[in-house]
C-alpha cells in the first residue's frame, strides 16, 4: 500500500502529504494525529481522545468536538491522505501502513515546543512521551538495556498471530472480508490484554493456504496461531476458527461462530468477542494442565502466569496456594517484572476477598508493597495502578484515592477491563449507581481472561444492587456462582437482593450456603471488613442480611 502521510514527530511536529507538500494544521489537529500515530496499532478509542483533548468540555460537547476535528483534519489532508484515517462509533484508526515516519535527528525532542494550554491530560501524556523517548535515546547511546515499558511485559503473555482468513463465497474471490475479519480478531485479542498479538500488518504477509504453522512460529516468534475460513449467507457471517500450537503444529481448539455481517463492519461483532474469550479459556486450561503434571521449572513464563491467574480464582485452598507457588517460581526468574509482581499482589487481595486470609492487615501490607515494586519497575503500568486502586477501595475503603488510581490505569490503557470494573464497583460504594452499572457493564464487554468472569459478574451484581435492580443483581450473582459456586461476594449480593425483593425464603437458603463456605461471617464482620457496608445503603444491606439469618 502506498504512503499517504509523512510525519515528523521529533523537533517541530510536521505533517506532509506523499508529494512532500506541508499540511498546515491547528494545535488540536496536530495533537489528534500525535495520539493516533503513537498507538502501536494506530487505534485510539473515541472516549480516550475526547477525555485527552477536550477534558474541560461536557461529554456531548466533547463528542461533537471530536467529530468536527476529524472532519476538518481529513479535509486539510486532502482526499488521498484522508483515506488513512477511519472511524466508527467506538474508535478512530490511523492506518500505519500508509504513514512514513521521518527519521529523527540526534537528541531531537518529541513534539519540541508543542503545547496545548488548559488540556491537562494531554500535557501529562506529552510529558510522559517525552520522558520515555529521552530514556530510550539515552539507553541507545549508553548501550544500556531497553527501558522498562509495555514491550517488556510481553514475554509473560502468550505470543499469538492471526493469519488472514480464507473466504469461501462463490464470486467473491476479491472480497476483503477475510482480511477484515482477521484484522478485527487481532484487535479483539489485543484488547483482551491476555496475549501478545503480532501486528496484523506483519501477519498478512503469510499465505494462509500454503504456510506451515511452524514457519510462522520461526518467522514471527509466536507460540500460537489462529487461522480460519469465513462464509457469507445473506446478511450473516459464519467463521470457522482454529487455534494451533504453532511449534508442535497441532490444532488445540476449533469452533464455528456466526453473527450479523453489519456488526463486523462496525467493529461490534459479539461472535469475535466470544471467540476471543474461548481462545483465552483454552490457553488457560492448557497452562493449568501443563502446570499439573510438568515440573514448574520447565515451563515457559507465559504458561506459568496463565496457570497462576486461573488457579488463584479457585476457592479451594490447595489450588489457591498452588497459584502462589507458581508465582514464586515466576518471580524467582523475573524478580522485577511488573506483571509477575502485580499478579502476586492480586493474590493477596483475593486471599482477603475469598475469606482465606488469616491476617487481613498483613495481606493488605504485602499487596501494597508488591504494587509499589511493580510501579517502580514501570510507573505507568495500568494493571499495577489497578492493584493500588483495589487495595484502596476494597481493603482500606479510601474510595477517592482508589478512583485516582483507576484513572491513572485507564490513562495508560483505556481498555484495562479490571480497572473499568473496579472503578464501577467503587462508584457503587460511593452511592453513584448509574455510573456503577454503566462502568461494570462496559467492563464485562471488554472480554477479560476467561477464569475471571465470575469476578466481573460478582462486582456487576453489587453495582446493580446499589441501583436497586434486584432482578438483574440476582441474575449476575447466579452467573458468577455457576462459574465459582462458593465465592462469598456473589452469595452475599444474591442474599441481599433476594431479601430486598421480597423473596425471604430463598434469601435464607442463600445465607446458609454463604455460612457453609464462610463459617466466620457475621454482621459485625460485614460492617468492619466489607466496603459495601460503608455507603448509604450499607445499613439497609446489613438489615437484609440479618433478616436472612446472618448472625450478629
pLDDT tens, 2-20? 788 989 998 889 999 888 8
Question: Which residues fall within 8 angstroms of residue 173, CB to CB, at 6 or more apart?
Answer: 167
308 in any annotated domain:
no
Mean pLDDT, residues 356-366 taken together: 93
94 and 200 part of one domain: no
Q: Same domain, yes or no, for 12 and 60?
A: yes
Summarize pLDDT for 18-56 with one digit per residue, the tens.
888 899 998 999 999 999 988 766 788 888 788 889 988
- Per DSSP, the three-state class of 3 is coil
pLDDT of residue 450: 63
- Note whether 166 and 138 are same-domain residues: no
Cα separation, 395 vs 366, whole angstroms: 12
What pLDDT score does 363 carry?
A: 95
> Per-residue pLDDT for 137 more than 60?
no
Q: Is the pLDDT of residue 297 over 70?
A: yes
Share of the chain above pLDDT 90, in %: 40
Domain membership of residue 546 as a residue range: 415-552
Half-sphere CA count of 533, side-chain side, radius 13 A: 17
Does residue 63 share a domain with residue 192? no
For residues 451 and 515, membership in a common domain is answered with yes
**Domain termination residue (choose one: 289, 308, 329):** 289
Query: Are 301 and 152 spatial neighbours (Cβ–Cβ below 8 Å)?
Result: no
The segment with the largest mean pLDDT, out of 45-59, 135-149, 356-370, is 356-370
At 141, is the pLDDT very low, low, confident or very high (cuts 50, 70, 90)? very low
Residues 419 and 538 in one domain: yes
Residue 278 located in a structural domain:
yes
The predicted pLDDT at position 202 comes to 65
CATH code of the domain containing 35:
1.10.10.10
Q: Is the pLDDT of residue 1 over 70?
A: no
Which runs of consecutive H residues, i.e. helices, occur in 391-487? 399-412, 417-429, 433-445, 453-466, 470-483
Higher model confidence: residue 301 or residue 387? 387
- For 316-378, give the DSSP string: SHHHHHHHHHHHHHHHHH-TT-HHHHHHHHHHHHHHHHTT--S-HHHHHHHHHHHHHHHHHH-
Task: Report yes or no on 166 lying in a domain.
Answer: yes
**Is the confidence at residue 354, as pLDDT, over 60?**
yes
Boundary-marking domain end, from 240, 266, 289: 289
Q: What is the pLDDT of residue 395?
A: 94
> In degrees, to the nearest 5, what angle opens at C-alpha 226 toward C-alphas 223 and 227?
135
Average pLDDT over residues 108-134: 82
What digits encode the pLDDT tens for the residues 144-157?
A: 333 333 434 556 88
What is the pLDDT confidence band of residue 140, given thresholds at 50, 70 and 90? very low
Confirm whether 189 is domain-assigned. Answer: yes
- With 70 as the cut, is the pLDDT of residue 68 above it? yes
Same domain, 136 and 229: no
Are 135 and 168 contained in the same domain? no
- Which residues contact residue 514 at a Cβ distance below 8 angstroms, ignoring those fewer than 6 apart? 488, 491, 492, 495, 521, 550
Q: Looking at 115, 142, 169, which one is the last position of a domain?
A: 142
185/137 Cα distance (integer angstroms): 34
Burial 349-386 (b: 16+ CB within 10 A, else e): bbbbbbbbbeeeeebbebbbebbebbbebbebbbbbbb
DSSP 8: E
Domain count, the chain: 3
Q: What are phi and psi of 110, to 5 degrees?
A: -65, 125
More confident residue, 287 or 219: 287
- Tell me, what CATH number does 445's domain have? 1.25.40.10
- Let me know if residue 147 belongs to a domain: no
| Radius of gyration from C-alpha coordinates of the chain | 25
Q: Which residue has the cell 518467522?
A: 219
| Those residues with Cβ within 8 angstroms of residue 435's Cβ, 6 or more apart along the chain or in another chain | 424, 427
Supply the DSSP symbol for 156. Answer: G
- Which residues are bridge partners to 161 per DSSP? 225
Percentage helix, strand, coil for the chain under 3-state DSSP, each rounded to 5: 60, 10, 30
Lowest mean pLDDT among 117-131, 348-362, 371-385, 492-506: 117-131
Question: Which CATH number do you get for residue 279?
Answer: 3.40.50.10610
Q: Report the C-alpha gap between 379 and 389 in whole angstroms.
A: 14
Taking residues 243-262, report their average pLDDT. Answer: 89
- State the burial class of residue 72 (Cβ atoms within 10 Å of its Cβ: 0-12, 13-18, 19+): middle
Is the pLDDT assigned to residue 522 strictly greater than 90?
A: yes
Residues 122 and 163 in one domain: no
Query: Residue 149 domain-assigned?
Result: no
pLDDT at 449: 55
Are residue 442 and residue 545 in the same domain, yes or no? yes
pLDDT digits (tens, 9 = 90+) for 309-324: 889 988 888 999 999 9
The single-letter DSSP state of residue 257 is E
Side-chain-side CA neighbours of 378 within 13 Å: the count stands at: 25
150 is a domain residue:
no
Measured distance CA(377)–CA(217) in Å, rounded: 30
On whether both 113 and 175 belong to a single domain, the answer is: no
Residue 355 falls inside a structural domain = no
Residue 163 has pLDDT above 50, yes or no: yes
Look at residue 471 in the predicted model and tell me its pLDDT. 96
Is the pTM value of this prediction over 0.75?
no
Q: Strands 196-197 and 91-94, how do they pair?
A: unpaired
Q: Are residues 102 and 195 in the same domain?
A: no
Amino acid at each position: 500500500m502506498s504512503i499517504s502521510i509523512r510525519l515528523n514527530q521529533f523537533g517541530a511536529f510536521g505533517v506532509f502529504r506523499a508529494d512532500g507538500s506541508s499540511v498546515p494544521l491547528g494545535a488540536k489537529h496536530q495533537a489528534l494525529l500525535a495520539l493516533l500515530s503513537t498507538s502501536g496499532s494506530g487505534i485510539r478509542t473515541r472516549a480516550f481522545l475526547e477525555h485527552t483533548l477536550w477534558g474541560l468540555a461536557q461529554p456531548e460537547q466533547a463528542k461533537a468536538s471530536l467529530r468536527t476535528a476529524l472532519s476538518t483534519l481529513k479535509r486539510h489532508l486532502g482526499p488521498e491522505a484522508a483515506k488513512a484515517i477511519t472511524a466508527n462509533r467506538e474508535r478512530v484508526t490511523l492506518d500505519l501502513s500508509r504513514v512514513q515516519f521521518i527519521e529523527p535527528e540526534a537528541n531531537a525532542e518529541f513534539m519540541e515546543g508543542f503545547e496545548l494550554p488548559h488540556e491537562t491530560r494531554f500535557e501529562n501524556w506529552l510529558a510522559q512521551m517525552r520522558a520515555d523517548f529521552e530514556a530510550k535515546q539515552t539507553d541507545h547511546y549508553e548501550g544500556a538495556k531497553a527501558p522498562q515499558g509495555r514491550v517488556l511485559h510481553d514475554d509473560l503473555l502468550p505470543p499469538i498471530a492471526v493469519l488472514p482468513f480464507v473466504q469461501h463465497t462463490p464470486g467473491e474471490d476479491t472480497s476483503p472480508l477475510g482480511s477484515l475479519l482477521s484484522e478485527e480478531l487481532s484487535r479483539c485479542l489485543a484488547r483482551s490484554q491476555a496475549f501478545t498479538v503480532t501486528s496484523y500488518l506483519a501477519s498478512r504477509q503469510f499465505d494462509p493456504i500454503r504456510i506451515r504453522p511452524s514457519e510462522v512460529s520461526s518467522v514471527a516468534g509466536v507460540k500460537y496461531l489462529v487461522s480460519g475460513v469465513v462464509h457469507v449467507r445473506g446478511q450473516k457471517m459464519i467463521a470457522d476458527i482454529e487455534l494451533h500450537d504453532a511449534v508442535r503444529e497441532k490444532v488445540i481448539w476449533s469452533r464455528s461462530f456466526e453473527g450479523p455481517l453489519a456488526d463486523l463492519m462496525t467493529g461490534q461483532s459479539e461472535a469475535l468477542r466470544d471467540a476471543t474469550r474461548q481462545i483465552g479459556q483454552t490457553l488457560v486450561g492448557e497452562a493449568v494442565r501443563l502446570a499439573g503434571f510438568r515440573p514448574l521449572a520447565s515451563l515457559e513464563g507465559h504458561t506459568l502466569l496463565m496457570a497462576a491467574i486461573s488457579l488463584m480464582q479457585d476457592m479451594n485452598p490447595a489450588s489457591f496456594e498452588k497459584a502462589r507457588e507458581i508465582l514464586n517460581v515466576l518471580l524467582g526468574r523475573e524478580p522485577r517484572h511488573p506483571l509477575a509482581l502485580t499478579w502476586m499482589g492480586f493474590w493477596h487481595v483475593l486471599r482477603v476477598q475469598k475469606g482465606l486470609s488469616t491476617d487481613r492487615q498483613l495481606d493488605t501490607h504485602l499487596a501494597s508493597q508488591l504494587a509499589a515494586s511493580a510501579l517502580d519497575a514501570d510507573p505507568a503500568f495500568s494493571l499495577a495502578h489497578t492493584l493500588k486502586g483495589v487495595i484502596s477501595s476494597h481493603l482500606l475503603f479510601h474510595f477517592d484515592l482508589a478512583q485516582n488510581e483507576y484513572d491513572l490505569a485507564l490513562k495508560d490503557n483505556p481498555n484495562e477491563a479490571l480497572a473499568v470494573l473496579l472503578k464501577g464497583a467503587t462508584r457503587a460504594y460511593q452511592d453513584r449507581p448509574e455510573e456503577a452499572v454503566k462502568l461494570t457493564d462496559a467492563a464485562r464487554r471488554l472480554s477479560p481472561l476467561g477464569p475471571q468472569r465470575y469476578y466481573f459478574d460478582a462486582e456487576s451484581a453489587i453495582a446493580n444492587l446499589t441501583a436497586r435492580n434486584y432482578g438483574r443483581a440476582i441474575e449476575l450473582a447466579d452467573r458468577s456462582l455457576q462459574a465459582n459456586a462458593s465465592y462469598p461476594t456473589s452469595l452475599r449480593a444474591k442474599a441481599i437482593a433476594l431479601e430486598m425483593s421480597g423473596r425471604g425464603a430463598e434469601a435464607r437458603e442463600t445465607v446458609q450456603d454463604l455460612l457453609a463456605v464462610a463459617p466466620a461471617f457475621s454482621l459485625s464482620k460485614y460492617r468492619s471488613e466489607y466496603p459495601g457496608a460503608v455507603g448509604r445503603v450499607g445499613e439497609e444491606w446489613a438489615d437484609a442480611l440479618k433478616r436472612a439469618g446472618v448472625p450478629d
